[in-house]
């Protein structure tokens, strides 16, 4: 392949299974892959790293080193908003990795190379949804390695997936992206997570285990939308109790106001905050998607907020790749075994 274009959707992060050092495994992400919004990256072989995008340049340099190739010429054709709760960093990093590999006619080995890209250090949801989409639950990390000080960058493996399901194609996820301060990232996020982990009540983790096994997983397996929504909303609120001191409440402002308003919308369930926010989400079905979108637009207006509202199907395929070969022929696109 000479030119490779990789497209991957955003992900929603519902929460973690455990943030207490008193339990044997830490983190354990729960989340969903979306078709929209998405990021698209195009790569061609080059002698060095060439790109006008500063963040993509950082990831391209990592990818070139991990794959042991000469370089890559990279363009970011479409991108996710950064640090709002949609997994923008992980999806861009992995798209850069995969596009660089495919441009050089190599397998990207996404899961194995994710740590070298600086991804998968806490949650494995972003890597898993890049690979195959769907609703995913990961196993977390051994607490004896991920204490308040995580391993050095790259010195980890992405947590394995313990449950994955395709969600019904009739389901829709409402995604509200208010124009607000971005969520935490980098050193700020590390410091906040350290403080949360040091204080986390292990009893909350025990409650979450019951919600996951007796409510959420059965609802997913049976395709029961309302039961699924009730379970993810409960998980989100229990996670918020861990974060309350760090983010100013169970949900951070202004996400909390939007959650409270959208909880009154009769066609929405599972309303919550993704990761550190400010993205707010809810789940509905195809028949009620327009009504849900109007409710979200009205909620933004009610609270004096500008923003973007997206209604997305859940992803069932993960990232896709299209390419042009050496002869100039377009190669078949589609999902791949990453």
In a domain, 294, yes or no: yes
In a domain, 81, yes or no: yes
In a domain, 130, yes or no: yes
Round the average pLDDT of the chain to a whole number and report it. 93
In a domain, 35, yes or no: yes
Number of domains in the chain: 1
pLDDT for 144 equals: 85
Q: Which residue has the higher pLDDT, 248 or 208?
A: 208
For residues 25-37, one letter each, b for 16 or more C-beta atoms within 10 angstroms of the residue's C-beta and e for the rest, the string is bbbbbbbbbbbeb
In a domain, 337, yes or no: no
The CATH number of whichever domain residue 267 belongs to comes to 3.30.230.120
In a domain, 246, yes or no: yes
Model pLDDT for residues 34-55, shown as the tens digit of each residue: 999 999 999 999 999 999 999 9
In a domain, 336, yes or no: no
Provide CB contacts within 8 A for 258, sequence distance 6+.
176, 178, 280, 296, 299, 300, 303, 305
Average pLDDT over residues 188-204: 87
The residue among 160, 124, 177 whose CA lies nearest residue 312 is 177
pLDDT for 330 equals: 61
Average pLDDT over residues 70-97: 97
Are 184 and 84 in contact, with CB atoms under 8 Å apart?
no
Q: Which residue has the higher pLDDT, 216 or 182?
A: 216
CB atoms within 10 A of CB 322: 18
- For 194-253, the DSSP string reads HHHHHH--HHHHHHHHHHIIIIIHHHHHHT-HHHHHHHHHHHHHHHHHHHHHHHTSSS-T
| Cα–Cα distance measured from residue 215 to residue 263, given in angstroms and rounded to the nearest whole number | 19
Q: Examine the pLDDT at 317 and tell me if it is beyond 70.
A: yes
The residue among 120, 124, 117 whose CA lies nearest residue 98 is 117
CA distances from 297 to 14, 262, 310, 320 (A): 22, 10, 10, 31
In a domain, 31, yes or no: yes
Backbone angles phi, psi at 164, to 5 degrees: -145, 135
Domain span including residue 305: 3-330
Average pLDDT over residues 221-231: 98
CA distances from 275 to 14, 85, 294 (A): 7, 5, 24
Model pLDDT for residues 169-195, shown as the tens digit of each residue: 999 999 999 999 875 555 566 787 888
């Amino acid at each position: 392949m000479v030119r490779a274009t990789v497209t991957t959707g955003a992900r929603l992060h519902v929460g973690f299974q455990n943030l207490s050092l008193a339990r044997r495994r830490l983190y354990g992400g729960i989340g969903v892959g979306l078709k929209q919004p998405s990021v698209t990256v195009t790569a061609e072989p080059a002698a060095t790293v060439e790109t006008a995008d500063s963040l993509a340049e950082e990831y391209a340099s990592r990818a070139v080193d991990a794959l042991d190739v000469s370089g890559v010429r990279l363009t970011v054709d479409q991108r996710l908003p950064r640090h709002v709760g949609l997994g923008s960093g992980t999806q861009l990093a992995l798209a850069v990795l995969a596009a660089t590999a495919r441009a050089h006619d190599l397998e990207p080995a996404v899961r194995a190379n994710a740590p070298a890209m600086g991804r998968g250090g806490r949650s494995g949801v972003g890597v898993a949804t890049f690979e195959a989409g769907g609703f995913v639950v990961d196993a977390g990390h051994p607490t004896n390695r991920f204490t308040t000080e995580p391993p050095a960058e790259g010195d980890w493996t992405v947590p394995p997936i313990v449950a994955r399901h395709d969600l019904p194609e009739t389901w829709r996820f409402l995604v509200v992206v208010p124009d607000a301060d971005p969520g935490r990232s980098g050193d700020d996020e590390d410091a906040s997570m350290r403080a949360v982990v040091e204080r986390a009540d292990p009893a909350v983790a025990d409650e979450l285990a019951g919600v996951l096994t007796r409510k959420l997983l059965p609802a997913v397996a049976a395709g029961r939308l309302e039961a699924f929504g009730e379970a993810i909303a409960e998980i989100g609120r229990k996670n918020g109790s861990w974060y309350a001191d760090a983010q100013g409440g169970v949900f951070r402002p202004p996400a909390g106001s939007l959650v409270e308003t959208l909880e009154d919308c009769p066609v929405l369930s599972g309303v919550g905050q993704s990761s550190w926010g400010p993205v707010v989400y809810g789940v509905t079905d195809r028949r009620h998607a327009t009504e849900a979108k109007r409710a979200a637009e009205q909620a933004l207006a009610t609270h004096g907020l500008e923003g973007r509202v997206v209604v997305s199907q859940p992803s069932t395929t993960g990232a896709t790749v299209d390419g042009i070969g050496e002869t100039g022929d377009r190669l078949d696109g589609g999902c791949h075994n990453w």
